[in-house]
Every structure is written in C-alpha cells, then in structure tokens.
Homo-oligomer: A and B are copies of this chain.
C-alpha cells in the first residue's frame, strides 16, 4: 500500500544512497500500514518482515518504534498537505478554497482508505500536526476572516472545528462505505460554509460548483 505518493527522500546520488533510501521507504510504508490498521504494538521484527528488510536494518534508520511511527505519520501528512496546497493556491475566494479542500479531502479519503485510516486512527494528532496542511488551512481561513467573509472567533478555532468535522465525516464514511457520496459530501461542505458565516443559499451554490482543473480525474 503506497499511501498518497511515492518514495519521499529518494534520489540521493549513488547506488548506496538510493538503496538506503529504498530501505527507509519500505520501513516507513510498513509503519504507515500498521498505523492504518491500528497495530502499532507489534514487534520490530514484525515491522521489518512487513517491509521485507533484515531485522538489523531497522536500527540503521530509527532508534525506536515510536520514532519510526512518528516519521511515518509525518511523511504521510506532509505529502498530502503539499498536494492539497497546490490545489487551492490560485483560488482567490477563500470560501471556494475551503469548499474545495473539504470536498477533495473526503474524495481522496474514499479513494485511499489506507491513508484515511492512518489519519483517523492517529486521533487528534492530524489536527495538531504542524505541517503544510495546517499552515495552508490557517492561511486560507485567516484571509477569509480578515476580509469579513467568514465570521469566526479566530483561524485556530475555526481550523479545529472544520478539521475536526472533516475527520468525523471521514471516520463515518470509512465505517460505512456507500456507493455514491458526492452529493452527501457537497451538502456537508455547504454546512461548513454556513458555519463559517456564509448565507445558506450562497453556501449551497459554492459547495456544488465543479471542482477545478488541478484535481486528478479520480477525485472529480
């Protein structure tokens, strides 16, 4: 299960470097799979078997299990966050940016249940993780508040509320994977825009617009 994107820190010059990066990537991916399955209590031997590397190799890259799981979580979050950032970077209306982000994240979660489960299983860690996703979100929400389009107490709490509801909805859909959820998700996105302070009619209209070009076909 290669979650979200390909190998991260690859392309060190030379075969040595590449081999090392490949081993590390295999460990990271095994870690991501185990987090997604809620099996972070397994032995290091189980991890290296899943990664299909020698037992001792683990210690070439990580000192402890916790260190591996932390890196595995962080890398999944970062590659996802950067992808999403690219997607909304030239959307000028912050209501549209939030709506697109919300709808795309849930579509990705449905298409990649392994990644979705990694995030929901990590509990509140996804909301606290200080990376691209959080920065982009705070920036968008902050701009919306400053422009007067959103009426919320502050970007941090708005992010907590919106991000939390996103996690809640993803959790729900993971547990009950129905065939067609696009209409449902758009309604929920409208709800989020209303929460941010948009009038019902405008919220519904924006939440049902077509998704922009940058979104990969499979999530449209």
Q: B164 touching A168 by the CB < 8 A rule? A: yes
* Given A123-B120, A124-B121; A161-B168 close (CB under 8 Å): yes
Instruction: Check if A165 is an interface residue, CB within 8 A of chain B.
Output: yes
A156-173: contact bitstring with B at CB < 8 Å (1 yes, 0 no)? 110111111111110110
Point out the residues of chain B lying under 8 angstroms from A120, CB to CB: 123-124
- Counting chain A residues whose Cβ lies within 8 A of the other chain, the interface size class is 35 or more
Cα–Cα, bound, A192→B157 (Å): 13
Pick from A25-33, A83-91, A193-201, A212-220 the stretch touching chain B: A193-201
Cα–Cα, bound, A163→B166 (Å): 10
Greatest chain B CB density within 10 A among A128, A167, A183 is at A167
A116 → B minimal CB distance (Å): 10
CB-nearest residue of chain B relative to A120? B124
Q: B128 touching A175 by the CB < 8 A rule? A: yes
Within 8 A of B (CB), among A94-147: 120-124, 127-128
Q: A161 touching B152 by the CB < 8 A rule? A: no
Q: A191 touching B195 by the CB < 8 A rule? A: yes
Q: B195 touching A152 by the CB < 8 A rule? A: no
Instruction: Check if A41 is an interface residue, CB within 8 A of chain B.
Output: yes
Instruction: Check if A13 is an interface residue, CB within 8 A of chain B.
Output: no
CB-nearest residue of chain B relative to A192? B195
Point out the residues of chain B lying under 8 angstroms from A123, CB to CB: 120-124
Q: B160 touching A168 by the CB < 8 A rule? A: yes
Q: A169 touching B175 by the CB < 8 A rule? A: no
5 contacts between A and B (CB under 8 A): A121-B124, A124-B171, A157-B188, A161-B168, A191-B195
The 4 lowest CB-CB distance pairs between A and B, nearest first, are A164-B168, A123-B123, A160-B172, A124-B171
Using a CB–CB cutoff of 8 Å, the interface residues on chain A facing chain B are 40-41, 120-124, 127-128, 151-154, 156-157, 159-169, 171-172, 175-176, 183-184, 187-188, 191-192, 194-197, 200
